[in-house]
Every structure is written in C-alpha cells, then in structure tokens.
A and B are shown apart, each in its own frame.
Chain A
Amino acid sequence: MFPTPNLDHITSNDYENVYEPAEDTFLFLDALEKDIEFLKNNINPCICLEIGSGTGCVSTFLGQLLGNGTTLLLCTDINPYATAITVKTAIHNSIHLDAITTNLTSGLLPRLYHNVDILCFNPPYVVTSSEDVNSTNLIERAWAGGIDGREVIDKMLPLVNDLLSSNGVFYLLVISDNKPDEICDRMWNDYKFQSKILASRLAGREKQLILKFWRNQS
C-alpha cells in the first residue's frame, strides 16, 4: 500500500481556487496502484501526462509509484492556481514534476505526438448546462461537464489518439451519466482503442468508474 500524498500544505483558502481531492481522486489513485506492475513491466514509461491536475495529487502519487525521477511527469491545468499548487504538492511529497498552465494540451502538440506513455484525466464530468463549461469561476470549471457531462471529455478523446505512444495507456474517470459504453464504442470505432473498466465505486447515487484505454495491437 502506498500512502496517499500528503496535502497538509494546502489551506482552505487554496480550496477556494482549486478542486479539493474527493472520492473520485481517491478512486483514481486506487486504479493506478492496481495497475502499477503492468505499468512498470509492460509500458516502461518515459513520459506521463495528466490533464487538469488540480492539486497534483494524482501525478504526485504516480511519481511515488513509478519512483521519483524515473519518468517525465507533465501536468496541465487551465487554472494557474492549480498548476502552482500541483508543483507545491509534488515538492511537499519529494516528487519532481513539471506543470504547464494551458487548456487541455494546447502548445504541447505536435511535440508530444505519439510520445505519451501514461495519460491521466479526471475531467469535469458533472452534468450541467453548456454555459457552465466555460464558467469564469475556476472551481465550477473544474467539475462542470455540460450536456451528459461529456463536453470536455469529448474534446479530449481525439487528442488521446494524437498523444498516446504505441504501447501507451489512457486512464479516464467517468460517471455513469457520461455514458461510458458510448465513450468506449467511440474510441474503438474511431481510433481502434481497446478498453476496460479498471475500477469503480458508488459515491452516493453516482457510480464512478476508471476506464483504461490502449491501442489495439493486432
């Protein structure tokens, strides 16, 4: 068992500007831990990328699992408070990562084209109106997913095909409202990505799942 990253350095004021780790975050950590032997033995990762890193909890944990300084851990967030806290969280837990303030992966393609070995995304997945997706409130923007909670997820899916290396993997957190089957079908039909449910749990009435995607090798 790897300990959850220490988040003592984050104040309640910080949580007014950045999404506070919750059950979804912890499900993400569980899923990565479950898959760590696979990641170390089958992927031999060089570049990891997390989109929307928030407090940096997930990438810091991934760094702990893989070993500090053994991969390039890149984190992006559209929220400058989040990238600043992401870096602090890593330092607080003796992990080195690199944060970039940007929208999804803007500015990183084409350089990262087919270069990402581990891609993580805990997206804004809550079903809201379309207007909420582009809210000026940074916290709202961290969870507001628009229609079916899919508007940001659907922007990300084509990028996954651009980013993933030949043996790369993509971990995506979704809830049942996001229609996970439809996401998996689309990834297969459009890009020939295989998928499976790596972990799931009920949080209140909401079912949260971690989907794992990889390129069809045959």
Chain B
Amino acid sequence: MRLVVHNMLQCHVKGCVSNNFPLQLLDVELEIQEIEFNPRFLQNMLPRLDWRAFVTTAAQIGINSLPQDLPEVFDEDFLKKLHRILFETHIVQGKMICANCSHEYPVKDGIPNMLLSEDEA
C-alpha cells in the first residue's frame, strides 16, 4: 500500500463518523519500489490529496520534512520528493488504527484489508 492509497482510506465501522481519518500507522514495514517520475500525473493528483492527513501520516513513518500546507509554488525537487513519498514508499506490513474507535485494519503483503465483520459494518 502506497501512501497515496492510505490517503484515500478511512474507518467505516458503523457509528464511527468523526476523527476517523487518517488511519494511524503502527508497526509498519516499509519498502521503496521505484516507478517512473511523472510530474503531470503528480500535479493532477495533488488537489485530490488531503494534504494535512498526508503530512501527519508521513511523520508517523519518520518523514518530517513536509510543509504543513501545500506550497502554492514548487520546483521539480519538491515534486521529486513528493513522488518518492507518495508513489514509491510502500507499506508492506503493518496496521492502520482508527483514532476514534481504535479499530485495526491490517496491511499484509502490501494490501490493506478494510473488511469488517457483520456486526461492525
């Protein structure tokens, strides 16, 4: 699971409707998998990203160099840094925890599992 995908996921336990995004990362194993840099796609993606959630999540895996707000102007170095964090950084194993209801969603072999049991959904 890449960080760009993590940015799209939120807790959907029945009745859990606030403070349920972003899911907190815990006990994660990371891996870098390189992919071609595509600045056009990256810039298309930026407005669809929840920037604050992304910054919070990056900090949980030790990346503290992102600005609190997305700058209005940025250079290619900044885009390359984002490319690395968003598109090349994979969570291979770990857990995602809801800050509100503490539900744990596992990530196994790079795939997040958002399934709930019948009484949770």
Binds B, one of A15-23, A103-111, A179-187: A103-111
- Beta-carbon contact of B111 and A78 below 8 Å: no
The digit string for B79-121, where 1 denotes a CB below 8 A from any CB of A, is 0000000010000000000000000010001111111100001
* A161, chain B: closest CB distance, angstroms: 18
The digit string for A107-124, where 1 denotes a CB below 8 A from any CB of B, is 110111001000000000
User: How many residues of B are counted as interface, with CB atoms below 8 angstroms from the partner's CB atoms?
Assistant: 31
Instruction: List B contacts of A93 (CB < 8 A).
Output: none
- Beta-carbon contact of A101 and B113 below 8 Å: yes
For the complex, give the distance between the alpha carbons of A158 and B45 in Å: 25
Asked if A39 is an interface residue, CB under 8 A from chain B, the answer is no
Residue in contact with A107 in the complex, picked from B9, B36, B45, CB distance below 8 Å: B9
The contact size tier of chain A is 20 to 34
Using A72-B4, A72-B45, A99-B111 as known contacts, say yes or no to A107 and B12 having CB atoms under 8 A apart: yes
Asked if B65 is an interface residue, CB under 8 A from chain A, the answer is no
Using A46-B45, A98-B1 as known contacts, say yes or no to A107 and B11 having CB atoms under 8 A apart: yes
* B21, chain A: closest CB distance, angstroms: 7
- Beta-carbon contact of A111 and B7 below 8 Å: yes
Asked if A7 is an interface residue, CB under 8 A from chain B, the answer is no
Which residues on B are within 8 Å of A, measured CB to CB? 1-2, 4-5, 7-12, 21, 35-36, 38, 40-41, 44-45, 48, 50, 87, 105, 109-116, 121
- In the complex, besides A98-B5, A106-B121, A112-B8, 7 extra interface pairs with C-beta distance below 8 angstroms are A69-B41, A69-B87, A70-B41, A103-B115, A106-B114, A107-B9, A111-B8
Which residues on A are within 8 Å of B, measured CB to CB? 44, 46-47, 68-72, 74, 78, 80, 83-84, 87, 96, 98-103, 106-108, 110-112, 115
